[in-house]
Amino acid sequence: MVKIINVDLLCTIVVMVTKGLQLITAASIIVCFSLSVFISYFITNNKSLQTDMLCNIECTIINSDVDVDSSTSQGSNSPFLIDPGQLTKGIVGSTSDPKHDTQLIVLDKMTRIPQLHGFYDIISTQITKMYNDDLVFTISLNDDPNKNSRYETTYLWVLSHIDPLNNNNQIYTIIIPHFGIDSNFKIKGWCLAIYDNINKIYSLPLSRIHNMTNSNVEITIDPDLIGNIENFNYTTAVMVRVNDTFLDKPPDYLIDSSPDDDAFWSSWFV
């Protein structure tokens, strides 16, 4: 005997099974997404993004009482130094600045007055994007920045992308200090730190750079450290700290900026 199949019933069953599979798939996606958010939250909140100690390029904390010169990074190549083998993708931005326009602008009254040098004098700046999306930040100077011997010379970048309509304001300060070999600072040589001004945390704590070029202050940065910021404005400056007693304060002198904006930089640390 041939059984008659109820087509309506069969269609209803198929629809119910399909909806059930869709619900199971949706639930799986929600669970996976929730786990991803939880893991990201856990990792983010367990990262040490700020510290009063110096760390090397892998951010292994170095005791500040230990001579920093005796501490070395475990890798022979610093990831913050440009790799000549990488190909340039394009220039993100650049500025030019007149030679011999340095001057001492007091940020904090000091009895010691530093002598002006060519390595305080910005000639040009450039940000270059590599094919691996790393960003190369270059400040070209009028002399070798490694010649600084007595004070702390700090090279600064401020990157800003202001988008209040989409609640997406981003401001980062890239800090590249050089502590003179003949200074009284415990730290010697080149360092790097990156500060997230909006969230008020260091995306990169103070870290060692083991080399620097002879005429430029040049570093390569993973864009993750600056929030993958795009379409940003930037400005640069050179500052000097002659007071090697109190480090928890702004530099003592502003010497040059590009584009020239003494008013902005004089109030940046206020």
Give pLDDT tens digits for 179-207: 999 988 888 999 999 999 999 999 999 99
Beta strands of 51-98 (E only): which ranges?
A: 54-55, 61-62, 88-96
pLDDT at 149 over 70: yes
Confidence (pTM): 0.69
% of residues, the chain, pLDDT over 90: 49
Give the model's pLDDT for residue 167.
Answer: 82
Q: CA angle at residue 202 from 197 to 204, to 5 degrees?
A: 130
Average confidence (pLDDT) over 12-39: 43
- What CATH code would you report for 54-268? 2.60.40
pLDDT at 29 over 60: no
Return the higher-pLDDT residue of 215 and 110: 215
Contact 68, 208 (CB under 8 A): yes
Please report where in the chains the tokens 């920093």 appear, as a residue.
68
Give the model's pLDDT for residue 177.
Answer: 96
What is d(CA 100, CA 31) in angstroms, rounded to the nearest whole number?
62
pLDDT at 234 over 80: yes
At residue 213, φ and ψ (nearest 5 deg) are -70, 170
Least confident of 47-56, 129-138, 175-184: 47-56
Residue-averaged pLDDT of the chain: 75
The domains of the chain are located at 7-46, 54-268
Average confidence (pLDDT) over 239-250: 82
% of residues, the chain, pLDDT over 70: 67
Give the model's pLDDT for residue 89.
Answer: 79
What is d(CA 211, CA 207) in angstroms, rounded to the nearest whole number?
13
Return the higher-pLDDT residue of 195 and 74: 195
Return the higher-pLDDT residue of 216 and 30: 216
At residue 77, φ and ψ (nearest 5 deg) are -110, 125
pLDDT in tens, 79-98: 344 454 457 678 999 999 99
Give the model's pLDDT for residue 72.
Answer: 34
Contact 205, 48 (CB under 8 A): yes
What is d(CA 201, CA 195) in angstroms, rounded to the nearest whole number?
6
pLDDT at 225 over 80: yes
